[in-house]
A and B are shown apart, each in its own frame.
Chain A
Amino acid sequence: MLGAAGIGGPIGRAFLLVGLVGALFGFVSCVMGMRQKDEKLLRLSLRFATLSAVSAVGAFMAMEYAMITRDFSLDYIQKVGSRSTPALYNFTAVWSALEGSILMWLLALALMTAWIAWRYRAKVTDPLVATALATMFVTAFFFFLLTIGPADPFAPGESGVTDGPGPNPLLQNHILVLFHPPILYIGYVGFTIPFAFAIGALVTGRLGEGWLLETRRWALFSWGFLTFGIVLGGWWSYEVLGWSGVWAWDPVENASLLPWITGTAYIHSVLVQERRGMLRVWNLSLLAATFSLTILGTFLTRSGILNSVHAFSESDIGPYLLTFFAIVVVVSLVLIGWRGDRLRSPGIIDSPMSREGAFLANNVLFSVFAFVVLLGTVFPLIVEALQNRQIVVGEPFFDSLATPIGIVMLFLMCIAPVLPWRKASTELLSQRLFWPAWCGVAALAVAVLLGATGLEPLLTFALGGFATGAALRQLVLATRRQKWRGLVGRANGGMIVHIGVIMISVALAASNSYTRSQELTLAKGVPASFGGHTFELKGFVEESDARRTSIKVDVSIDGGKSYRPAIHKFTSMGQNVGTPSVKSSWSKDIYLTLEPPVKPTSNEAKIKVFIKPMMTWMWAGGILMAIGTVLSAFPGRRRRPTDPVSAPVPTALTGTSP
């Protein structure tokens, strides 16, 4: 038993070494195969990709095995393992600290590399595909290197340790810990694929639209996972952290938002390139930016240079990530500069009042947004480096800049879906925008009737209604023409995503502006009222196990069902963690937290009540975004990009689809 228990470490390490070699050989077989035009060598890359993937799976399973068998001979298990952690949270404890997170990143990356190698196995002799694969191998090699060097999950620990503290209490409090990190990571890592194909296109000089069509769906896939991961993160924060918010502009949250912003800009502006053959440099730059921001974000938040609630303990992974980030940026810039002549776009954009004009405006907004988030995140570092003093840039800064940007984005979502390509006349706009605009007026009227105040939220509701009208118009027209097929395809699926985004914006505006809160001291049997609801303390529930002791209070809302906000004291960490309890409905959530100190003997409890309007809309919006993304990944009925403007591209003759 003891022998089998200690086996995870050596086996995992062996797997990582094999994977490292597999990735290296895969890279070599791609590059040498291309240089010597050796088909056999190129075909070997699939085997090496499979080898790395199997190794990554093996290493991950070895880690899980070590975690499940509580193998305290490993340093990592000593850090995050504990005999008292329940099975589920023990399983997820593998990604609750730096080394395990890198291992999970590696797992996703190696699997994707193998998937790409398999998916394009028939086309591996195409230099574009081979270069893309080589890029993925380099990235996989780098992450294997991290797990062997500075972020070694299988490093041996001090001897004689028989138990550990377990994962951070916040990471053993809610089932979402099983979903949020892996989904987010799939999104993060997925952006490697379009980036790799972009590098392939740049190296081979085949900058026609073929590679784009090939990778658009990969970009959408990653974007969808990233979006869903971020929404789940918001939900987790809401359900677990007890401050009733979903987003705190924490550096780690910003690090996930940055690639999301540039990725969103890309999936919009890529349509201009598909349709008109324009914005090539810009699109390549966006892909490079998205990928490098995932690395930069990991560097900022995982090197210990910036701290946040999400940040793990310090490690010397920083220089590695920074070097890799620098390589990615330099290589992308050099390649784009080198291919500059072939990238010059042949067309012109006739009018700002056109679909492509709207996409340009969208991209300007998203770029400014990305800049704001990046600046706010790194500004404390700049100040500290230059002036040796510490400042904090927090939520109010981001809120005050993100709100106007968001409102202008909503405005674009009103106009852009009805704009035709090339040029729109005023008459056409007045025809197409008429009913959507009335939807906006109707939404505004309802909001005013319900007592809404404040210019910013009212504008959000009005523009939200308008934009929903514009999206519905497209969906109605499409379903009338094509029945159920009017819901699939990127234009229609995209409109469903838009409606999801609008629901989230409206929910954010409403909950940020109209949350009511009050602290109530409840005595047993004496109802207190706030915001039109009564709250009555029914009793206390105390539970305790080896891991934690919990005190819950039973609070009946409006004489009905009981809700149980709680405070858990984690014995090994000595940390108090509150858990809210939420009564949800479509119009509002009643969010209860238990405030310390709690003395069950006194028959009194202090609770904090938040009444937050429209929170359910946020989660519904997130689900709608996910559904819309899936629908837009299915090919709709659309023309191939054979617009005359993209015809006289100098590379058009060689730019066949890979």
Chain B
Amino acid sequence: MASAEAMPLSARLKSWPMWMFMAIVTACLLAVGAGREAGPLTQQERIDVITKRLACPTCDGESVFVSQASAAVNIKNEVARQVASGQRNDEQIVAHIEERFGGRVLLVPRATGFDSLVWVLPVSVLVCSVAGLAAAFRRWRREQGLVPSDDDRAMVARLLAEEPEDHDEVPR
């Protein structure tokens, strides 16, 4: 173990206090950046945010925001009217549109009933594969002693090279 004085500058620089310092700086920057308000949205931006959550009822898979179909334009205009009147918040506007234009306008599956599977399944696949990976590493760690290391192989190779006659005689 070398003392701090004997270590080269680059190694001393990269020691744990500097990492701590870096972590604190990062945390502060994140806190400042993520904590502050983004500023108010323009009406148009509110309309965009809401219409991105709504499906165009006639065009299979496109959002109202993306689509230029007339059904989508109708919904877009209704959202614009609601935003302009300023009486409802985003959730209420989405609910209003759903009520007015029927159930097929939601672009995000609900988190209840059968539809919740679309959220549950990815999470369970992730959990299962991480668990599987963890189990594999546990097994590998157990096996680690059983598999010859590079040093073992080198030793075998050296011994075989040293005593070729012996090696030949063994099977006879």
B9 to chain A, nearest CB (A): 12
- How big is chain B's contact interface, by range? 35 or more
Residue interface bits B116-154, CB-to-A below 8 A is 1, else 0: 011001100110011001001100100110010010010
Structural contact, B52 and A444, CB atoms closer than 8 A: no
Nearest chain-A residue to B55 (Cβ)? A392
Structural contact, A434 and B130, CB atoms closer than 8 A: no
Q: Which of A465-522 contact B (CB under 8 A)?
A: 515-519
A425 contacts the other chain (CB 8 A): no
Which chain B positions have C-beta within 8 A of A306?
60-61
Which chain B positions have C-beta within 8 A of A242?
68
Structural contact, B107 and A518, CB atoms closer than 8 A: no
Q: Which of A340-358 contact B (CB under 8 A)?
A: 347-352, 357
Which chain A positions have C-beta within 8 A of B136?
349
Nearest chain-A residue to B53 (Cβ)? A396
Structural contact, B33 and A453, CB atoms closer than 8 A: yes
Which chain A positions have C-beta within 8 A of B143?
348
Interface pick from A21-29, A40-48, A291-299, A379-387: A379-387
Interface pick from A132-140, A146-154, A363-371: A363-371
B170 contacts the other chain (CB 8 A): no
Which chain B positions have C-beta within 8 A of A458?
29-30, 33-34
Q: How far is the CA of A525 from the CA of B144 in the complex (A)?
A: 78
Structural contact, A367 and B129, CB atoms closer than 8 A: yes
Which chain A positions have C-beta within 8 A of B161?
none
What total of chain A residues lie within 8 Å of the partner, measured CB to CB?
72
B19 contacts the other chain (CB 8 A): yes
Nearest chain-B residue to A380 (Cβ)? B61
Which chain B positions have C-beta within 8 A of A462?
26, 29-30
Nearest chain-A residue to B122 (Cβ)? A372
Whether A347 contacts B147 in the complex (CB less than 8 A), given A390-B104, A448-B32, comes out as yes
Structural contact, B122 and A578, CB atoms closer than 8 A: no
B66 contacts the other chain (CB 8 A): yes
Nearest chain-B residue to A608 (Cβ)? B44
B117 to chain A, nearest CB (A): 8
Nearest chain-A residue to B104 (Cβ)? A390
B62 contacts the other chain (CB 8 A): yes
- A453's partner among B25, B37, B129 (CB-CB below 8 A) is B37
A399 to chain B, nearest CB (A): 9
- A248's partner among B16, B66, B115, B144 (CB-CB below 8 A) is B66
A309 contacts the other chain (CB 8 A): yes
B110 to chain A, nearest CB (A): 9
Structural contact, A441 and B29, CB atoms closer than 8 A: yes
Which chain B positions have C-beta within 8 A of A371?
121-122, 125
Structural contact, B48 and A394, CB atoms closer than 8 A: no
Which chain B positions have C-beta within 8 A of A518?
42, 44-45
Which chain A positions have C-beta within 8 A of B133?
360-361, 364
B159 contacts the other chain (CB 8 A): no
The winner among A242, A400, A440, A441 for most chain B CB atoms within 10 A is: A441
Structural contact, B150 and A644, CB atoms closer than 8 A: yes
Structural contact, A444 and B29, CB atoms closer than 8 A: yes
Structural contact, A445 and B29, CB atoms closer than 8 A: yes
Structural contact, B122 and A368, CB atoms closer than 8 A: yes
Q: How far is the CA of A576 from the CA of B109 in the complex (A)?
A: 31
Q: Which of B16-54 contact A (CB under 8 A)?
A: 16, 18-19, 22, 25-26, 29-30, 32-34, 36-38, 42, 44-45, 48, 52-53
Q: How far is the CA of A245 from the CA of B66 in the complex (A)?
A: 8
Structural contact, A396 and B107, CB atoms closer than 8 A: yes
B155 contacts the other chain (CB 8 A): no
A423 to chain B, nearest CB (A): 11
A546 contacts the other chain (CB 8 A): no
Which chain A positions have C-beta within 8 A of B55?
392, 394
Q: Which of B82-115 contact A (CB under 8 A)?
A: 104, 106-109, 114-115
A411 contacts the other chain (CB 8 A): no
A241 contacts the other chain (CB 8 A): yes
Structural contact, B115 and A395, CB atoms closer than 8 A: no
Residue interface bits A436-461, CB-to-B below 8 A is 1, else 0: 01101100110110001111001100
Which chain B positions have C-beta within 8 A of A654?
none
A251 contacts the other chain (CB 8 A): yes
Structural contact, B140 and A349, CB atoms closer than 8 A: yes
- B25's partner among A248, A349, A376, A441 (CB-CB below 8 A) is A441
B60 to chain A, nearest CB (A): 4
B11 contacts the other chain (CB 8 A): yes
A61 contacts the other chain (CB 8 A): no
A307 contacts the other chain (CB 8 A): yes
A560 to chain B, nearest CB (A): 23
Structural contact, A375 and B32, CB atoms closer than 8 A: no
Whether A430 contacts B19 in the complex (CB less than 8 A), given A349-B137, A393-B109, comes out as yes
Which chain A positions have C-beta within 8 A of B137?
349, 351-352, 357
- A517's partner among B14, B44, B104 (CB-CB below 8 A) is B44
Which chain B positions have C-beta within 8 A of A251?
61
A437 to chain B, nearest CB (A): 6
Whether A395 contacts B37 in the complex (CB less than 8 A), given A367-B129, A368-B122, A578-B68, comes out as no
Which chain B positions have C-beta within 8 A of A394?
55, 61-63, 107-108
A7 contacts the other chain (CB 8 A): no
Whether A348 contacts B147 in the complex (CB less than 8 A), given A387-B114, A396-B108, A453-B34, comes out as yes
The winner among B37, B60, B125 for most chain A CB atoms within 10 A is: B60
B71 contacts the other chain (CB 8 A): no
B13 contacts the other chain (CB 8 A): yes
Q: Name the 7 nearest CB pairs between A and B, nearest first.
A: A394-B107, A307-B60, A348-B140, A392-B55, A455-B34, A434-B14, A448-B33
A-B contact list, 29 entries, CB within 8 Å: A241-B66, A243-B65, A307-B61, A308-B60, A348-B144, A350-B140, A351-B137, A364-B133, A367-B129, A368-B125, A371-B125, A391-B109, A392-B55, A394-B61, A394-B107, A401-B122, A430-B14, A437-B22, A438-B22, A441-B22, A444-B30, A445-B25, A452-B33, A455-B34, A458-B29, A516-B42, A518-B42, A530-B42, A608-B44
Can you name 9 extra interface pairs (CB under 8 A) apart from A347-B147, A351-B137, A379-B117?
A251-B61, A364-B126, A371-B121, A397-B107, A397-B108, A397-B118, A444-B30, A452-B33, A608-B44
B contact set with A: CB distance below 8 Å: 11, 13-16, 18-19, 22, 25-26, 29-30, 32-34, 36-38, 42, 44-45, 48, 52-53, 55, 59-63, 65-66, 68, 104, 106-109, 114-115, 117-118, 121-122, 125-126, 129-130, 133, 136-137, 140, 143-144, 147, 150, 153
